[in-house]
Amino acid sequence: WILHDWDDDDCVKILDQCKKAIPKNSGKLIIVDAVLRPEDDTSAFADSRLAFDLLMLALAPGGKERTEKEWRTLLSQGGFSKCNIISLPTLQAIIEAFPDE
């Protein structure tokens, strides 16, 4: 739960530094963070995700919770165009991001 504290520009800088630290052809970045679901989300965490997004607005200016599309765009901009998003029965999801070559 680090990247949700930052705006997109700062996240790209953080991801760029992560990419530099990952061994070529053998590493990946693991992110555990909320992935907002579409408006038709009826899971037990639907209201919690909205509450956390509002909390981010109050406590971390520029920080935000992101949808899957927003995560994929952000990761691509940071040099991780291939990723897997693994949903969990919790507020967070696991995001595996693989550095571009």
Catalytic residues: 4
* CA–CA gap between residue 75 and residue 46 (Å, rounded): 24
Determine the Cα–Cα distance for residues 80 and 55; give it in Å rounded to an integer: 27
Gap between the Cα atoms of 91 and 44, Å rounded: 9
Q: Which of 89, 88, 91 is nearest to 49 (CA)?
A: 91
Checking DSSP bridges between strand 66-67 and strand 29-36, what pairing results, if any? parallel
CA 78 to chain CA mean position, Å: 11
